[in-house]
Amino acid sequence: MGPKIPGSSLVIQHYSHNLTLFLYYSDLILVLTFCHPASFLYNFYFILVIFSAQIRNAWDNNKSMARNLQEMGLSFDPNRTLPIKKQTVSRTAGPAHIVTKPYILTKLQEEASLQEKDSKTLSSDLIEYAQHMIREHKDNYKAMARDEKNYYQDTPKQIKRKINEYKRCHPQHYEAFVNSLAAPEAMDQ
């Protein structure tokens, strides 16, 4: 698997054209490390991509990544920040880190505390599929499973789950669709 980058949540090793690629990714920073296998210990090439605008503005290119993150109150290596405590061994507390850029930490906490909008949506094909099944069979899921438009041979439970997902993701759209189905029936009577 290759060496693991400290604090990484994902490490990918790829062998093509004699290059090895290590990927360190978090929600804030992406680091790509390239090295040639023959000179593995000597030549590293880094590409740093910072997603957060607050971190990007406070970043100092003259300092190391660990030092930049430490000054912002963020962790470079979560294993050192939150060590796993062993019951038999007691450790003394290390030196306290001095945070010189606390405004970054407060801005990130404010951003994290904002309510996230549910952005899940369904494909137009799945919406059309659910509407067809409801239009033809109402709530008879066994008949839906036998329908000729059931290309993927979904079971009644799978179809029910897809229709419930449609109801959850697009409630206004679903209500309008059901109301449009009820309107022609009222006219027939």
- Structural domains of the chain, count: 3
Q: Which has the closest alpha carbon to 10: 36, 29, 34?
A: 29
Residues 79-117: tens digit of each pLDDT: 777 777 766 555 555 566 787 888 888 888 888 888 777
For residues 23 and 73, membership in a common domain is answered with no
Structure-block tokens of residue 91 = 């450790």
Question: Which CA distances in Å does 55 have to 38, 64, 95?
Answer: 35, 14, 24
CA–CA separation, 129 and 177 (whole Å): 13
For residues 32 and 79, membership in a common domain is answered with no
Residues 6-47: tens digit of each pLDDT: 443 333 344 444 444 444 545 556 665 555 555 555 555 556
For residues 13 and 41, membership in a common domain is answered with yes
For residue 163, count other CB atoms closer than 10 A to its CB. Answer: 20
Task: Report the side by side order of strands in the sheet with 29-35.
Answer: 20-25, 29-35, 44-50
Residue 188 lies in a domain: no
| Rounded to 5°, angle at Cα 48 from 56 and 19 | 175
Question: Which CA distances in Å does 114 have to 57, 58, 74, 109, 120?
Answer: 21, 22, 19, 9, 17
Residues 142-159: tens digit of each pLDDT: 999 999 999 999 999 999
CA–CA separation, 139 and 93 (whole Å): 63
Residues 45-76: tens digit of each pLDDT: 556 667 777 877 888 888 887 888 888 887 77
Q: Distance between the two ends of the chain, CA-based, in angstroms?
A: 70
Q: 64: domain range?
A: 55-83+96-112
Residue 133 lies in a domain: yes
Alpha carbon of residue 34 to chain centroid: 24
